[in-house]
Structure formats: C-alpha cells, structure tokens
Chain A
Amino acid sequence: MYAFEMERPTTVDEAVAALKDEDAQALGGGQTLIPTLKARLAMPGKLVSLTGIDAIKGISKDDAGRLCIGGGTVHRAIAEQGDFPGLAGLAARIGDPAVRNRGTIGGSVANNDPSACYPAALLATGATIVTDRREIAADDFFQGMFTTALEEGEIVTEVKLPIPEKSNYQKFAQPASRFPLVGVFVAKGADGVGVGVTGASEGGVFRWREAEEALSGNFSADALGDLAASADGLIGDMHGSAAYRAHLIKVLTGRAVSAAA
C-alpha cells in the first residue's frame, strides 16, 4: 500500500468535512477497498473511516413500512433481520462470516461493483439511497460499472427499501471468487414485479424489464415462457460467455420466482 493519513470521525458532518480534502476517500468496512489498496490500484492521500459513526448503523422501519438500513450496517446484521427475508438471504451469502462482520451495505452500494449483490435488490424493490445531502432513487443511482450518482465526498448514510410481499435472490456463484457470475433479485410488490440483475452486464446492474412485465401479469416461472434475456452488452470472459450469462439470467429469474417467499 501507498502511505495515507487516516481519520476516524464520529459524526457524518465531521466525515463530510474531512472528505473535502483533495485525494480523500471514504472507507466503509474495507472488504473491497483494503484489498484494492494492497494491490496499489488506489492511492488516496487520506482515508476517512466511517466505522466510528454510530448514527449510520442499524436497521429500522419507517412510517411507509420501508426497511431503513444505515449505510454503516454490516452484512451480518442485515442477514439476521427478519422483516425482509429475501434481503436477509442475499446478505447471508456475501463473502464469508468474517467478511460479513465488517463489510457494509453503504460501501457496497457506493462502490457499485458490477458483481455486487445489493444493487440487484435495490433496483428490484425501487429503493431509495439516502446520502449526507439528498435522496436518490435506485434507478437513477446506479450508472454503470463502478459508477454511481454520488458526487465527490458524498456519503451513503442510509438505504430505504420497500418491503415486498414476496422476494428471493438467486446467485450463481463464480466458483473461485464466490461473487455472482449472475445474480437475480425478484421482488413482488403492490405495484408490480421488479427484477434486478447483477454480475452479467458490461453496463453494471440492470432491470430486466420484459420479465418484470410478464411476471406482473402472472407471478410464476411459467410466465417467462419464450422470453429470453438478450446477450447484447453482457460480459463474456473465461468464466462464461455472454450467451451463457443470458441463459443464466432467465434460469435464475425462474428459480427466484419459484422460491419467492
């Protein structure tokens, strides 16, 4: 690692102020950023650790019945909550137990790794991402591989997810990294069905709109019928071709619908 300064503020305001410095970068749970620093793929002058800010940790429900998860909440806590089983199942399969004790939802969402799990759930449920300065709809937030609507120094303080009637996440794990080769989150809410797909596209996480439409009329795997996910723009690499990933999208969507609870 290159050398950097470390600050550990205890409030969001202090963190925002610390991030105003040029070359400052926020550090969530560090389960992605620290390996990135070790590989010298990032060279921040200063890291602002968010782990000392208690106000952005914890899970609650708001008046609209949404699950409100602080950005600094670790995967393990999300895996252990009982209000949104589909999301708990997703969180329980991120990394391994030690990673789940450190990694945070805010860090994952802000990084927007094209194979991260949470973004699929946020898109499928129509979640809202809350930052130190505004609220952003998930559809507007995720803008491509490692790209989000966040400005320099903007911190994800909370994620608000409408709790669906039924939901499920299916992950086809790449055997070495255990990241999803393809992951699909299906959510059946009062206003229709959301299908979020991660791991598959060169453009990062996306909604499979055709499947959403078909499932909104008939929430069963059969409703996918002759639909096929397009392989255009999907990732093709040594782990699987674009056509293979397109095939997986449909198979996993069907499985998620059948397993939704």
Chain B
Amino acid sequence: MSKVSMRVNGRAVSGEVEGRTLLVDFLRNDQGLTGTHVGCDTSQCGACVVHVDGAAVKACTMFAAEAEGAEVTTIEGMANADGSLGTIQQAFQDHHGLQCGFCTPGMVMSAAALLKDNPKPSEHEIRKYLEGNFCRCTGYHNIVKAILAASGQEMPAVAAE
C-alpha cells in the first residue's frame, strides 16, 4: 500500500492504495463518489469518464497512483455551487438525454470535455467525439440534442425525430 494525494472536485483528498487500485475504485470506494460508474471495466463504454488535469480519461483504465498530485473532476463536480444542475446536466434533463442513466455521468463528462475544446460543435462532431461512450437506451439522438442545446445552438431535427 502507498499513499496517494490529489484534488477531487477542488477538495484535497488522500488515501492508501494498492498498486493495482484503479482511479475509479479510489473515487468510488475510498472517496464515496459513486457517481462515476463502472460499465464494462474493459475501456470501451466510457461510463467512468472523469477529467484528470482537464483531460477526459477513462477512470477504469488508469491507476489511482498515477493521479498523484492531479486535479480530478467527477460528475459530482459538475453541479452549480448552489447544488442545482450544471448547464450540461440541465440540458440532459430538458431534452431527455437519459433513460436508465447509467451512462450519463460519462456522457456529461465527455460532453464537457468536448465543449471546452470546441464550444459550438456540429452534430457530426458531437457524434464522433462520443465514439467511446456507449448508451444502450436512448439511441443517442437525445444526447446529441442535449449537447447541442448546452452549447447554446439551435437544435436541428436530428435523425429519427
């Protein structure tokens, strides 16, 4: 076991981890931040996406020890200071961008990473960016709509409307 320290959602945290402890397990089990989900545990589904030093990464495919000294943001850090939903979260609710909700934390974190680099993405760019985030309920259309809305753009009639 060794000690690891990082900042999570602006708060300094530390804990004892094994070499093999994944970042997602540290967040969920040690820090109680269960918003970050483990969907596939094989790096494919993107339910575990968090931001490490500003970059979207799969928390199931990074060791906790590798986040030493890093600034980590999880879905719990996406709400406004007063506890109300953040812009992207609110857009997902408004546009029915979730059904069972399991993929949603990763979707929101990926969407936030996309909008940071590309504040007005096209529908095509959104779909391409979400290549590593799987949703098995919505068929993606409402997720794309939500992200377009969160970016302040008009929502064209996306397919299957």
Residues of A within 8 A of B (CB): 1-6, 8, 27, 30-31, 34-35, 37-38, 46-47, 49, 51-52, 76, 95-99, 101-102, 178
Contacts and interface: CB of A to CB of B under 8 A. Distances in A.
| Chain B interface helix/strand/loop/mixed | mixed
Interface centre among A6, A30, A51, A98 (most CB of B within 10 A): A98
Interface centre among B18, B56, B110 (most CB of A within 10 A): B56
B42 A97 contact: no
A6 B57 contact: no
Contact of B58 (A38, A47, A51, A99): A99
Interface string B111-149: 001100000000000000101110000000000000000
B61 A102 contact: yes
A35 B43 CA distance: 7
Contacts of B63: 6, 27, 30, 34, 47, 49
Contacts of A95: 132
Interface centre among A3, A37, A95, A97 (most CB of B within 10 A): A97
Contact of A98 (B19, B58, B66): B58
A99 B57 CA distance: 7
Contacts of B41: 38
Contact of B19 (A4, A35, A99, A101): A4
14 contacts: A1-B20, A3-B19, A6-B19, A30-B61, A30-B63, A34-B22, A35-B42, A47-B63, A49-B65, A96-B131, A97-B110, A97-B113, A98-B57, A99-B61
A76 B56 CA distance: 11
Given A30-B62, A97-B110, A47 B43 contact: no
A46 B63 CA distance: 13
B29 interface: no
B62 A34 contact: yes
Given A98-B57, A102-B57, A6 B2 contact: yes
Contact of B46 (A4, A37, A49, A96): A96
B19 A47 contact: yes
A52 to B, nearest CB: 8
Interface centre among A8, A31, A37, A101 (most CB of B within 10 A): A101
Interface string B26-42: 00000000000000011
B8 interface: no
